[in-house]
Structure 1
């Protein structure tokens, strides 16, 4: 069902003359990659290459933003095999990285059913903008979809065109709904289920985020924590510096906080709110797990300027 490209991985290990290889995968793929490592190890053993050491990274792999090259350098790793994502132009690794997108690979009958389903949706909804993630890019080539990330959608919408997201889960289509403030059609090619992220859900999200900003206006924060993640694709140093500059100019007390993984147990400081200059989804999806108010940099600027026209925060190349 999922293409882990074993032959390509073996070729890349040989091409890089790697002796110590670190395999990195997101949570949903870790066990499958563990089995893949066993097969690759057997391949090399059968050819008398027991000198090649294969290691699995047990930590996070939230995206191509979260490459474990720094940790790999401590182990003198020669190569990283990163599953589930494509390379980001602003993430520069200290160690060579081979990105394995893990394309979805249905059988022919299922693929024909997927095409029929999509064609019916297109017939019913006219000319929607089609979006997907890298895993489904290959099977959807005939539809020329836009690729979206969980933190960014580089899409220009004209008029009132619908958005159709083809993929699994709600993580990516929620970002589209929040950004464009509209209903998003979703089709899961694995289960063949069609659904929608409705407008009232989007409006509820915006209302909640504006409520957080309004709360700060009623009770202005005396001290703010400015949070920066050291994950390479989340280390938005220019955003971090801009937020600190604004706080200085406004005479608001602050403490810069730098860490790898942004989590509730790590944000324990005596502040009234945090501005998270890492992945915006930490704020948008996980805010309920934190004791203090979380703001994205865009929301922080809305608070400072008094602008209540909600702006979704996205990670951009110029942030680095």
Structure 2
């Protein structure tokens, strides 16, 4: 029964229907890390039903912007699981994945921490619960506000790690429903409004504190203040390529080189003799592995602060925006 539940979540009839309609013979599957263990069983099921060959991407996948381009060139259609669409390439089929976990307890825990007018956001895994969340807030006398984002955002109220365009303005607090700290931390830094993170898996809620991460980022920027030679990293993943931004930052830096990298890691930066880096790829890279890099790695926002183009009070997460 559990096996069948997983396949219902992955909508096998939709997958096989697309394969049949496109007369596809070779299929690619790409999963985020948390879903990879389900890949082999799903691949066998789809192969048995369609006769197509399924190739599973074994490379890391961190979001909808992280498409396995090499695999995409080998297959007739690539099914990308767990994220909503941000690419217009019709060879890619985005298969969203929803958690059916109850959000009521987590939202109820958040109520004492929230103001009157509440901006509500969540990730795609819980986006189908957005109406339930809004109703709980309304019944408790709060005013929920849900906004539409830019072209990278599929649903009103949806937040990505690199895009907070659906975060509404004019509210006195934000409610983020989901797990992890990166999304609510980014919201707090971007909008300077109290953020309450409600985790539906634990039922707990907390006010997001960004003091620790701010101290860490200021320390990294301080190390880069005397940098003379800069490496400007151009992300080569399809949803993270910002060459125009990298060129602009190179002009600001003066003594700088452009470096293209697909998988950015400390080891891959060891051989470049520069004093500091700026990453124009996913903003999480500079932050999550900050202590492991051989030289300071800044986001574009932080680089502009170091160069005096922004105030040191303007610290915010770098965002990759759409139209």
Do the two structures share a fold, i.e. TM-score over 0.5?
yes
- Displacement after TM superposition at 1:211 (Å): 3.1
Partner of 1:222: 228
Partner of 1:310: 314
SS of equivalent to 1:281: helix
**Following the alignment from structure 1 to structure 2, what is the Cα–Cα distance between the partners of residues 15 and 173?**
40
Q: State yes or no: 1:233 paired with 2:233.
A: no
1:97 pairs with one of 92, 96, 106: 92
**Following the alignment from structure 1 to structure 2, what is the Cα–Cα distance between the partners of residues 104 and 291?**
38
- Is the Cα–Cα contact under 8 Å of residues 105 and 200 in structure 2 kept in the other structure? no
Q: C-alpha offsets along residues 42-84 of structure 1, whole Å, 9 cap, x if unaligned?
A: 323xxxxx3x1011000121111111134321x2x10000001
TM-score normalised to the size of structure 1? 0.83
Q: Equivalences for 1:191-206 in 2 at 5 Å? A: 191-198=202-209, 202-206=210-214
Q: Equivalences for 1:24-173 in 2 at 5 Å? A: 24-44=30-50, 50=51, 52-73=52-73, 75=74, 77-88=75-86, 91-93=87-89, 96-106=91-101, 111=102, 114-115=103-104, 117-119=106-108, 121-122=110-111, 125=114, 126-142=116-132, 143=134, 144=146, 146-154=157-165, 155-158=167-170, 161-173=172-184
Q: C-alpha offsets along residues 8-64 of structure 1, whole Å, 9 cap, x if unaligned?
A: 1111111221100000001110011222112222323xxxxx3x1011000121111
Partner of 1:260: 262
Closer, same or farther in 2 for the Cα pair 1:57/1:216, shift >3 Å? closer
- Displacement after TM superposition at 1:273 (Å): 0.1
- Displacement after TM superposition at 1:122 (Å): 3.9
RMSD: 2.2
**Following the alignment from structure 2 to structure 1, what is the Cα–Cα distance between the partners of residues 306 and 109?**
44
- Displacement after TM superposition at 1:166 (Å): 0.7
**Following the alignment from structure 2 to structure 1, what is the Cα–Cα distance between the partners of residues 232 and 105?**
49
**Following the alignment from structure 2 to structure 1, what is the Cα–Cα distance between the partners of residues 217 and 109?**
36
Unaligned runs of 5+ in 1: 45-49
Unaligned runs of 5+ in 2: 135-145, 147-155
Closer, same or farther in 2 for the Cα pair 1:195/1:35, shift >3 Å? farther
- Is the Cα–Cα contact under 8 Å of residues 104 and 139 in structure 1 kept in the other structure? no
Q: State yes or no: 1:271 paired with 2:244.
A: no
**Following the alignment from structure 1 to structure 2, what is the Cα–Cα distance between the partners of residues 129 and 272?**
41
Aligned length: 291
- Is the Cα–Cα contact under 8 Å of residues 151 and 280 in structure 1 kept in the other structure? yes
Structure 1 window deviating more from structure 2 (3-12 vs 118-127): it is 118-127
**Following the alignment from structure 2 to structure 1, what is the Cα–Cα distance between the partners of residues 67 and 258?**
23
Q: Equivalences for 1:272-291 in 2 at 5 Å? A: 272-291=275-294
**Following the alignment from structure 2 to structure 1, what is the Cα–Cα distance between the partners of residues 110 and 220?**
37
**Following the alignment from structure 2 to structure 1, what is the Cα–Cα distance between the partners of residues 58 and 289?**
22
